[in-house]
Amino acid sequence: MNESKAALVIGGGVAGMQAALDVANQGFQVYLVERSPSLGGRMAMLDKTFPTLDCSACILTPKLSEVAHHKNIKMMTYSEVGSVSGKSGDFHVRIRRKARYVREDLCAGCGDCADECPVEVPNEFDQGLGFRKAIYVGFPQSTPNVYTVDRDTCIDCGRCVKVCERKAIDFDMQDEMVDVNVGAIIVATGFELFDISQYPRLGYGTYRNVIHAMEFERLINAAGPTGGHLVRLSDGKRPKSIGFIQCVGARDVQKGVPFCSRVCCMYSIKNAVMALEHDANAEVWVYYADIRAFGKGFEEFYEMAKNRFGVRFVRGRVAEIMEGRTTGNLVVKVEDTLSSKVRLVEHDLVVISPGILPPEGMDTLATKMGVNQSEDGYIAIEHTFFGPILTKTPGIFVCGCADGPKDIPDSVSAGSAAAMKATIVLSGGSA
Ligand SMILES: Cc1cc2nc3c(=O)[nH]c(=O)nc-3n(C[C@H](O)[C@H](O)[C@H](O)COP(=O)(O)OP(=O)(O)OC[C@H]3O[C@@H](n4cnc5c(N)ncnc54)[C@H](O)[C@@H]3O)c2cc1C
């Protein structure tokens, strides 16, 4: 294979997968490097997706499978970029493949090992609300369907080794360095959530019934920690009144996040509707600074939430959340800026929408690749109008949330656009 005709995609979320597929479908080799044990990114964690309310796993799973079975895509999960040198058309990349302690070529994903494992730890995929074993796959559609040993929590009891008929578990495994030559690189490293405990007045981390939006996604998901039953964490009761709070860790200069996270308005409206789908008699409130429903079908979705589902929208920034001493109920204090009244509203459950930040390790990765970052820490794009997926470094392209918050349709479009630019380079052209 001519490796200068290959591309490297960093990040296996929906944007990176789309980019990898579009490059691979044009006949080029792709190395798809994902640092977690599975592809899928954040979309794999979502319950439904705005604005259509499609089941996220249902629309993502065929894509996961297409990537996994594509003859031109070499999936490198549980792997990270070690170093990058060279230039457009001829990059040399060293990739560190972390030891899974389970051989990918032997593991059939049967799960006998996890059944036998005596260690239970919080499952990151479920935002720590459910549990996994020390040998685990994060979620049922994990791609590849290969187990990974978490050496930090494994107690070396050896029970998994004994029960594995295929002899796939190997505690002598070491990290491996793999060198590849590629003509183009696509960065699709996505985002992470703002740490909302930085707002102690909102009680996250102190009050059990204050959760964040991704926790809510897992709570209402049939494959999630409660089997899809929407309950409070403090007492397992079904919440009758739920408040969604917007713009926490977004549009806040004092916290160093002046920008809008773009997706929170819509995912909160979606989750407000989902809460009512779970219990049509619940009362659902959304506290917002202003509603940004700018995409196709978004405004209509917002109108539907208000008019058909009866979601109540209050304009104002929440000042404080207080917890009732015995009930675990929460009182939201907010100035309603449309009526100029201070309101105190009691809820059983409060869901905070955290802002979206560049993922951990962005600075290091950008330095390794020699690409610039914008002031907010994302990958800097070359030109707002004519280079939205170009970086300042020729041959390196960016898509999805790696250069700033985006919804799924925009992440996928950017993935396809980055793939097109990359294949121009691979074909000997200048992108
Ligand atoms: C609570 C919530 C609900 C949402 N609901 C919706 C919705 O209903 N509809 C909608 O359109 N959008 C929704 N979104 C937005 C949606 O999640 C994003 O648009 C989408 O996930 C972006 O995909 P991505 O591939 O850019 O990033 P991600 O999904 O973040 O994927 C990036 C991948 O890159 C990997 N990675 C990171 N750094 C590295 C590295 N250094 N090396 C290798 N791999 C790396 C990560 O592990 C991850 O797998 C929601 C977001 C949130 C927070």
**Does 2 have pLDDT greater than 60?**
no
Nearest CA to ligand 1 atom 38: 189
Residues 112-122: pLDDT tens digits? 999 999 999 99
Do residues 47 and 219 make contact, with C-beta atoms less than 8 angstroms apart? no
Average pLDDT of the segment spanning 203-216? 97
Residue 124 confidence (pLDDT): 96
Sign of the dihedral through C-alpha 151, 156, 157, 161:
positive
Instruction: Indicate the number of domains in the chain.
Output: 2
Helix or strand run (H / E) with residue 331: strand 330-336
Has residue 62 been placed in a domain? yes
Same domain assignment for residues 198 and 315: yes
Residue closest via CA to ligand 1's atom 51 equals 263
Domain end (from 310, 328, 356): 356
* Among 356, 374, 406, residue at a domain's last position: 356
Q: pLDDT (tens digit, 9 = 90+) per residue, 315-324? A: 999 999 999 9
Distance CA 87, CA 360 (A): 25
Give yes or no: residues 309 and 422 share one domain.
no
Residues 371 and 279 in one domain: no
Q: How far is the CA of 152 from the centre of ligand 1 (A)?
A: 26
- Tell me if 16 CB under 6 Å of ligand 1: yes
pLDDT of residue 313: 98
Q: How far apart are CA 65 and CA 77, in angstroms?
A: 14
Same domain as 362, residue 347: no
Do 233 and 346 reside in the same domain of the chain? Answer: yes
For 235, 243, 345, 384, the CA distances from 239, given in Å and listed in that order, are 10, 10, 14, 44
For 364-389, the pLDDT digits (tens) are 999 999 999 999 999 999 999 999 99
| Residues 125/131/137/139 CA torsion (nearest 10 deg) | -50
Provide CB contacts within 8 A for 385, sequence distance 6+: none
Is 10 close to ligand 1, i.e. is its CB under 6 Å away?
A: yes
Same structural domain, 301 and 379: no
* Domain shared by 284 and 329, yes or no: yes
Q: State the residue range of the domain holding 417.
A: 3-98+175-191+358-426
Distance CA 17, CA 381 (A): 20
Q: How confident is the model at residue 107 (pLDDT cuts 50, 70, 90)?
A: very high
SS3 (DSSP) at 21: helix
395 part of a folded domain: yes
Mean pLDDT of 140-164: 97
Query: End of a domain among 356, 373, 392?
Result: 356
Of 62, 73, 74, 75, the residue nearest 23 (C-alpha) = 73
Nearest-angstrom CA–CA distance, 399 and 413: 8
- Ligand 1 proximity of 187 Cβ (cutoff 6 Å): no
User: What pLDDT is stored for residue 430 in this prediction?
Assistant: 86
CA distance 181 to 44: 30
Site to substitute for ligand 1 among 30, 43, 363, most atoms within 8 A of C-beta: 43
Ligand 1 midpoint to CA 46 (Å): 10
Half-sphere exposure (CA, 13 Å, Cβ side) for 205?
7
- Whether pLDDT at 283 is above 50: yes
Domain membership flag for residue 139? no
Listed residue (72, 117, 80, 116) closest to 97, CA to CA: 80
Is residue 273 in a domain?
yes
Q: Is residue 317 domain-shared with residue 217, that is, in the same domain?
A: yes
- Co-location of 335 and 239 in the same domain: yes
Percent of the chain with pLDDT over 90: 97
Contact between 384 and 378 under an 8 Å Cβ cutoff? The reply is: no
Please check whether residue 153 lies inside any domain of the structure.
no
Which CATH number do you get for residue 402? 3.50.50.60
Cα(43) to centroid(ligand 1), Å? 6
pLDDT of residue 138: 87
Residue 190, ligand 1, Cβ within 6 A = yes
Phi, psi of 75 (to 5 degrees): -80, 130
- Specify if 91 maps to a domain: yes
- Whose Cα sits closest to atom 48 in ligand 1? 41
Are 233 and 381 in the same domain? no
Which amino acid, one-letter code, is at 28?
A: F
Same domain, 245 and 383: no
Three-state SS for 397-424 is EECHHHHCCCCHHHHHHHHHHHHHHHHH
pLDDT band at 92 (very low <50, low <70, confident <90, very high): very high
**Mutation pick for ligand 1 pocket among 247, 357, 373, 407 (CB with most ligand atoms within 8 Å):** 407
- Which of the four pLDDT bands, split at 50, 70 and 90, describes residue 3? low
Q: Is 309 within the bounds of a domain?
A: yes
What is the per-residue pLDDT for 1? Answer: 47
Asked whether 225 and 231 are in contact (CB, 8 A), the reply is: no
- The pLDDT of residue 325 is 85
**Residue-wise pLDDT tens digits, 160-194:** 999 999 999 999 999 999 999 999 999 999 999 99
> Can you say how many angstroms the Cα of residue 98 is from the centroid of all Cα atoms in its chain?
21
Instruction: Report yes or no on 406 lying in a domain.
Output: yes
Is 330's C-beta closer than 6 angstroms to any atom of ligand 1? no
Residues 367 and 400 grouped into a single domain? yes
Q: What is the mean pLDDT of the chain?
A: 96
